[in-house]
A and B are shown apart, each in its own frame.
Chain A
Amino acid sequence: MKTSQKDPGAYVRRVQEGASSLAQDLIAEIERLQVLVAALEAEKQRHEAEQARLQAQLESIRSESQTFSARYAQVELQNSNLANLYVAGYRLHGTLDRAEVIAAIQEIIANLVGSEEAGLFALDAATQTLRLEASFGLDPEAARGLTLDSGPIGRAARTGEIYVVEGGKPAESGALLDRLTACIPLTLEGKVTGVIALFRLLPQKAAIEDLDRELFELLATQAAAALYCTSLHAKHAAGPAAR
């Protein structure tokens, strides 16, 4: 005969005790798991906070990198602009030969500005006319006999102010003065001694840019000084009789 059959009450008590023990174990396990979940939750929050911090840091680094890239490009541009001005200045003052200075002016206009038509006019103060001293890419006859009343070229000689056509790009064709891009008065000690007139730009040159305007400023003073130096040198080389 089995015990349960002998004492059913004892059997029920044992089952109840077992069930109670199991329930307590389960409660303890649940509590342990709750503590673990809370710890993991806290860990997760820490990770999320860390991730947000790193994300913000990454954004900041990205933004800084973009700033540096933009700054680098700006410095590179400034460097190349300075190189242009340095080359122009060096070429203008690298010789005392007038023909060489004129060649340098022509090369600066062709290679650094990007114009294929230009004329260098000397101002005759006595007759108030502009004499074409040198030109390239244009018909010299069309540029002769200009006076101080002759449009933007004459005005630049009269006022000493640089002229740039509106929009920085002239007409592709037409009469010479219609193709005028810019006039650079050559000034020495506040007096205009001549004018450089630029006509058609190279096809790939969209328009006159900021750097070109800086080159015009440089040409206005430095080309005038360089040309004047060649005259002084020529007089000096010719001896006292020529002075």
Chain B
Amino acid sequence: MDGKKKILVVDDSKTALFMVTTILKKEPYELVTACDGQQALEVAAAEKPDLILMDVIMPRKTGFEACRELKGREDTKSIPVILVTTRGEGENVEKGWQSGCNDYVTKPINAQELLAKVRNIIAG
């Protein structure tokens, strides 16, 4: 155990998943991944990450649904969630807040913005 903070990255797009992990890999974090909302719930329960970065539009379970479930479960409700959304308009952002997310970033992902938000929450 090296005390690294663990981040769960969830996206059904291999490119987006690869992009986010490439950005975060150079930081002192341990990364785990999931490719849809349902798998995110399972991995979150098993791995107890310090932060979840999750896409919104995904098969099986959307990011909104998965976030709502995570926040409703005793063992995962305290894990901060950053939603990654393609649609950055007010309505979608509002849906994100309603699902209980702690923050959100929009695509295309800006590495500096993402790192700043991750560092901010991890330092929390």
> Closest chain B residue to A115 by CB distance?
B108
Selected contact of B108 from candidates A77, A103, A202, CB within 8 Å: A202
Question: Within B19-45, which residues are at the interface with A (CB < 8 Å)?
Answer: 19, 22-23, 26
> Closest chain B residue to A112 by CB distance?
B108
| A interface, over-half SS | helix
Quick check: B13 and A202 within 8 Å, CB to CB?
no
Selected contact of A86 from candidates B22, B87, B88, B112, CB within 8 Å: B22
Counting residue pairs across A and B whose Cβ atoms lie within 8 Å, the total is 62
Quick check: A114 and B110 within 8 Å, CB to CB?
no
A104 within 8 A of B: yes
B107 within 8 A of A: yes
Q: For B18, list chain A residues within 8 Å (CB).
A: 87, 90-91
Quick check: A202 and B112 within 8 Å, CB to CB?
no
- Determine the distance from Cα of A83 to Cα of B109 in the docked complex, in whole angstroms: 11
Chain B, 100-124, contact with A by CB distance < 8 Å: what is the 0/1 string? Answer: 0000001111111000000000000
Interface size of A in residues (CB-CB distance below 8 Å): 26
Q: For A113, list chain B residues within 8 Å (CB).
A: 108
B16 within 8 A of A: yes
Selected contact of A205 from candidates B14, B15, B19, B108, CB within 8 Å: B108
Quick check: B23 and A104 within 8 Å, CB to CB?
no
Interface size of B in residues (CB-CB distance below 8 Å): 20
A146 within 8 A of B: no
Q: Shortest CB–CB separation between residue B90 and chain A, in angstroms?
A: 10
Chain A, 75-111, contact with B by CB distance < 8 Å: what is the 0/1 string? Answer: 0110110011011101100000000000110011011
Q: Shortest CB–CB separation between residue A178 and chain B, in angstroms?
A: 22
Q: Shortest CB–CB separation between residue A96 and chain B, in angstroms?
A: 15
Q: Knowing that A103-B14, A111-B16, A113-B108 touch, tell me 18 more A-B residue pairs with CB under 8 angstroms.
A: A76-B111, A79-B26, A80-B110, A83-B19, A83-B111, A87-B22, A90-B18, A104-B14, A107-B15, A107-B16, A111-B107, A111-B108, A112-B108, A114-B108, A202-B86, A203-B88, A203-B89, A205-B108
Interface residues of B (CB under 8 A from A): 13-16, 18-19, 22-23, 26, 86-89, 106-112
Q: What are the 10 A-B residue pairs with the smallest beta carbon separation, nearest first? A: A80-B111, A107-B15, A204-B88, A114-B108, A111-B16, A204-B106, A87-B19, A107-B13, A83-B22, A91-B15
